[in-house]
């Protein structure tokens, strides 16, 4: 348990630093670092070395359609039309995190009707997409997400 939290913290730090890196380019990043980290944890375990598998790539399990909706961000100024632009971005933690931010800027909404748009909504949108985020979420996905958020809420006091 302790080592799982530690591993996650390392990845969170990497993503956090990277998000901070590009924040001057993207003024409003709706998703906080803890929220990004907990979505990552829920969707993939946020383990290093995760590559493309079936229809999704990287730590955030991003599909081609999701990446396209996020405005096709790329690494190293690669053309978004290059055949490997999608895997190259989504397998890169910083570019993948940027895709999540862009996606949420576009599709952010109050999925659970609690009167605000917050991390729970982003978690639902990440899994169900921008057009069906009030639907049923996999139990395990929500469970890991909730545990993660609770862990970090506790640490932040
Ligand atoms: C995209 O990924 C491939 C395979 O890892 C690599 O050879 C290539 O240099 C990458 N392209 C860019 C622009 O980073």
CATH number, residue 50: 1.10.530.10
- pLDDT of 6 above 90: no
Residue bearing the CA closest to ligand 1, atom 1: 88
Q: How confident is the model at residue 1 (pLDDT cuts 50, 70, 90)?
A: very low
Phi, then psi, of 54 in degrees rounded to 5: 65, -125
Task: Record the pTM.
Answer: 0.85
CA of 88 to the centre of ligand 1 (A): 6
Q: Would the pLDDT of 23 be above 80?
A: no
The predicted structure's pLDDT at residue 65 = 98
Q: Please report the pLDDT score of residue 153 as a whole number.
A: 82
13-27, 61-75, 116-130, 140-154: range with lowest mean pLDDT: 13-27
Cβ contact 5:151 at 8 Å: yes
Cα 152 to middle of ligand 1, angstroms: 35
Which whole number is the average pLDDT over 95-117? 97
Q: Please say whether the beta carbons of 103 and 94 come within 8 A.
A: no
Domain residues for the domain of 42 are 2-156
User: So what's the pLDDT on residue 156?
Assistant: 54
Indicate the top mutation candidate among 74, 82, 84 to test ligand 1's pocket, ranked by most ligand atoms within 8 A of CB: 84
Q: How many domains does the chain have?
A: 1
pLDDT > 90 in the chain, percent: 76
**Helix and strand tally (H, E) in the chain?**
7, 2
DSSP helix/strand/coil, 57:
strand
Rounded distance from Cα 123 to ligand 1 centre (Å): 29
């Amino acid at each position: 348990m302790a080592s799982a939290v530690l591993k996650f913290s390392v990845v969170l730090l990497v993503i956090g630093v990277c998000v901070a890196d590009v924040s001057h380019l993207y003024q409003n990043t709706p998703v906080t670092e803890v929220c990004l980290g907990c979505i990552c944890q829920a969707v993939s375990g946020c383990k290093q070395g995760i590559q493309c598998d079936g229809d999704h790539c990287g730590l955030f399990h991003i599909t081609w359609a999701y990446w396209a909706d996020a405005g096709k961000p790329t690494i190293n100024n690669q053309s978004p039309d290059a055949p490997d632009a999608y895997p190259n971005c989504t397998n890169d933690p910083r570019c993948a995190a940027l895709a999540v931010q862009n996606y949420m800027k576009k599709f952010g909404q109050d999925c659970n009707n609690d009167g605000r748009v917050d991390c729970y909504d982003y978690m639902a949108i990440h899994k169900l997409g921008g057009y069906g985020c009030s639907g049923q979420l996999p139990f395990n996905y929500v469970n890991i997400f909730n545990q993660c958020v609770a862990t970090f809420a506790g640490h932040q006091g």
